A = this chain, B = another copy of it.
Amino acid sequence: MSNNSLGITERQYFTFAENEPMPLDSGESLGPITLAYETYGKLNADKSNAILICHALSGDAHAGGLTSEGKAGWWDDCVGPGKAFNTNKYFVICSNVIGGCQGSTGPGSIDPKTGKPYGLNFPVITVKDMVRAQRHLIDYLGIDKLLAIAGGSMGGMQVLQWTANYPERVRAALPLATTARHSPMLIAFSEVGRQAIYADPNWNKGDYYDGARPNTGLALARMIGHITYLSEESMHQKFGRRLEARERFGFDFETDFAVESYLHHNGSRFTERFDANTYLYVTKAMDYFDLANGNGSLSKAFAKCADIMYLVVSFTSDWLYPTYHSKEMVSALTGIGADVTYCNLQSTWGHDAFLLEVETMTQLISDFLGRVVEHHEILLP
């Protein structure tokens, strides 16, 4: 599907809060903070063509192109020349969230106070804290106003939080397959994932960086996640009741079904690139996410967002972030007079649809961005 037309992309680092730690929602503070980020395309003369892409739970700064090891970006289908986020036109930025494990400061980073990895001494962070750190990066890049911020799932939460907190820094926002408030079902799945990690003896209350890693627990958490990213229908299409490398049932506790094999494979592969403590911190941040909380209501949270153009997208088979979550968002946004385009797309792919419905998303996103450019008379390179 992807032609990796960006070629090999480079991870860059920005460090701040070295002298004065950044305050956090918890009341604690954090510093120094490093953000790993990548950029694609060229910033135009008046720095008005920048788009910030925010990643989901398991994502990182590598949204498009290839790493030097040849790994394609997590949204490479949509980021590149001629793609939805057309890097011939736009300067695209993606950074790993704080609390992350792909280059940004997180629980696996060295705590300057002790000289050892933070582990559970890392402060509990929120989506607002993630966004607060990203704002420092945008300041550093000299961008006064982002053309757009886009992201799906937890990326969409960051998008919403950005517009609520820094409305003057954003022209357009694309919250995709997301919610303004993490639901009890989402919290429940998060918590079971965390419990799977706690239960791994290697987890050792988060202090494992010099020993064996809690990979069994992390793989379990990931397997649970993978079920929720699909839909009943897409699982039928993808696996059905097909057996894996067996002609008939084994009548044992080895792998019988293809869907089991898929889960094992993805669970195990995840542990090669992800840190269990980051899984704890990032899911906790998602669970805490409720944009109305602290603002009185969703409308009040969006009170200063009337000048922002929104593209809200939900998917019919996404049972993790059902359509009505997006509709609540749209209702609050239209209520405050924002320019909102809302699409509830027919798809069988469940929550993963925002990554998989490439053709439709490309059309929708490029049209929307074109409209934003036209409305603000942005001069593209």
Contacts and interface: CB of A to CB of B under 8 A. Distances in A.
Interface of A: 25-28, 120, 123-124, 181-185, 187-189, 191-192, 194-196, 198-201, 216-217, 219-220, 223-224, 226-227, 230, 232, 235-236, 238-241, 249, 251-253, 256-260, 263-264, 267, 280, 284, 287-288, 290, 319, 322
A183 B319 contact: no
B181 A241 contact: yes
Given A188-B226, A192-B223, A195-B264, 12 more contacts: A26-B251, A27-B251, A124-B251, A124-B252, A184-B236, A184-B240, A185-B227, A187-B259, A191-B263, A195-B219, A196-B196, A232-B319
A272 to B, nearest CB: 18
A220 B199 contact: yes
Ranked 8 nearest A-B pairs via Cβ: A26-B251, A184-B235, A124-B251, A184-B259, A184-B239, A191-B260, A199-B216, A188-B227
Contacts of A195: 219-220, 223, 263-264, 267
Copies of this chain per assembly: 2
A178 to B, nearest CB: 15
A241 B120 contact: no
Given A124-B251, A192-B263, A251-B123, A241 B184 contact: yes
In this complex, the member of A189, A199, A226, A253 whose beta carbon has the largest number of chain B beta carbons within 10 angstroms is A253
Nearest to A197: B253
